[in-house]
Amino acid sequence: MIVVTGGAGFIGSSIVWALNQRGKDNILIVDHLGESQKWKNLAPLRYLEYMEKGSFLECIERDSLPDNISCIIHMGACSATTETNCSYLVENNFKYSQAIATYCLEKHIRLIYASSAATYGNGDAGYYDGYENIENLRPLNMYGYSKQMFDLWAKRNDVFDDMIGLKFSNVYGPNENHKGSMRSVVNTAYHQIKEAGSVKLFKSYRDEYGHGEQMRDFVYIKDVIDIVLHFLDHPDIYGLFNAGSGEARTWNDLANAVFRALGLTPSIEYIDMPQSLRPNYQYYTEMDMDSLYKSGFKGKFKSLERNVEDYVQNYLVKNRLLGDEKL
């Protein structure tokens, strides 16, 4: 059995879809559905059982989980970079991960968990994913720090040789509709274009970047899936790895790719960035992917334009989720 926490969420449900594509459905999905719309991501998927995250933690504490679990893919977390309840983030993102990791170590279960590129902060310490120097990283928001806390815990306890951590960059793709304001700019831009014919991007407040020329490492969900499956297929590999594309592109590039996928002439409006975001805004990220390729990863990422085209034309326009491809 494979456990996927956050299995109704964006990345988690996409991983379940990929496992289904391999003919695997002996999957326990763990999440907290609440009143969100992410339950819709579950509808096209095949899995053995669903469990609320609180019940899952209780099972860990009581040692009452099934004894045939081979791997826990821990994607569950609050991923809102604007979340200001630090105590909630510590409990939900750090302590919960700590409990799962401790259980996996005791039971000798493979653990693949989600860290984040947000741990790199403004990039002053670089974007190398080795855990040797993670103490030097300075996240710009509490979400990033909650992920950093767990990475630091893993290093202090010398357990990176027993698990895989993945530092996800700016992921976009199908199954993210429920994320509200945390949806990718591709998703947001598509809906803005359909409603108003133009896209709104934040102005730049640094002289070295023009408006919309801020750069991020955007990575498509299908490429992320390939990375996760690579580590699932190679249980002899451990450590902390970046999960990005390895290429920084501008927000203008991203918006233009959406217009291109729709066959429309670009129309971009640059708007003021909220004062609250300006001190913590990342102007540039580009993941160092050397460690991933040295681990034997053979995947080849498509271009930003090709991936945006797939997302827009095959999912957003058709209002489909992963698993709906045959509809």
Instruction: Report the pLDDT value the prediction gives residue 4, as an integer from 0 to 100.
Output: 98
Number of independent structural domains in the chain: 1
- The mean pLDDT of 74-90, rounded to a whole number, is 89
- The mean pLDDT of 200-221, rounded to a whole number, is 95
Q: Is 298 a catalytic residue?
A: no
Reply yes or no on whether the pLDDT at 182 is more than 90: no
- The mean pLDDT of 138-152, rounded to a whole number, is 94
Of all residues in the chain, the percent with pLDDT exceeding 90 is: 89
Reply yes or no on whether the pLDDT at 224 is more than 70: yes
Determine, yes or no, domain membership for 272.
Answer: no
User: At a CB cut-off of 8 Å and minimum separation 6, what does 126 contact?
Assistant: 120, 288
Instruction: Report the pLDDT value the prediction gives residue 130, as an integer from 0 to 100.
Output: 83
**In angstroms, rounded to a whole number, what is the distance separating the alpha carbons of residues 293 and 64?**
38
What CATH number is associated with residue 55? 3.40.50.720
Determine, yes or no, domain membership for 158.
Answer: yes
Determine, yes or no, domain membership for 119.
Answer: yes
- The mean pLDDT of 8-32, rounded to a whole number, is 97
Query: pLDDT tier at 279 (50, 70, 90 boundaries)?
Result: confident
- DSSP string computed for 53-105: HHHHHHHHHHT-S-TT--EEEE--S---TT---HHHHIIIIIIHHHHHHHHHH
Is pTM beyond 0.85 here? yes
Determine, yes or no, domain membership for 241.
Answer: yes
Determine, yes or no, domain membership for 181.
Answer: no
Mean pLDDT of the chain: 94
Query: What residue numbers bound the domain in which 71 lies?
Result: 2-173+219-246+284-301
Reply yes or no on whether the pLDDT at 326 is more than 80: no
Determine, yes or no, domain membership for 152.
Answer: yes
Reply yes or no on whether the pLDDT at 81 is more than 90: no
- The mean pLDDT of 22-30, rounded to a whole number, is 97
The catalytic residue among 96, 127, 143, 190 is 143
**In angstroms, rounded to a whole number, what is the distance separating the alpha carbons of residues 193 and 257?**
12
Reply yes or no on whether the pLDDT at 96 is more than 80: yes
Determine, yes or no, domain membership for 138.
Answer: yes
Q: Is 107 a catalytic residue?
A: no
For the CA atoms of 92, 95, 96, 97, the dihedral, rounded to the nearest 10 degrees, stands at 110
Reply yes or no on whether the pLDDT at 50 is more than 70: yes
Determine the 3-state secondary structure of 122 from DSSP. coil
Reply yes or no on whether the pLDDT at 218 is more than 70: yes
Instruction: Render pLDDT for 69-80 as a digit per residue (tens, 0 to 9).
Output: 999 999 999 888
Determine, yes or no, domain membership for 326.
Answer: no
Reading the block at residue 41, the tokens are: 């991501």
- The mean pLDDT of 12-39, rounded to a whole number, is 96
Instruction: Report the pLDDT value the prediction gives residue 327, as an integer from 0 to 100.
Output: 59
**In angstroms, rounded to a whole number, what is the distance separating the alpha carbons of residues 234 and 3?**
17
Give the residue carrying structure tokens 């960059």.
169
The catalytic residue among 147, 167, 179, 222 is 179
Query: pLDDT tier at 250 (50, 70, 90 boundaries)?
Result: very high
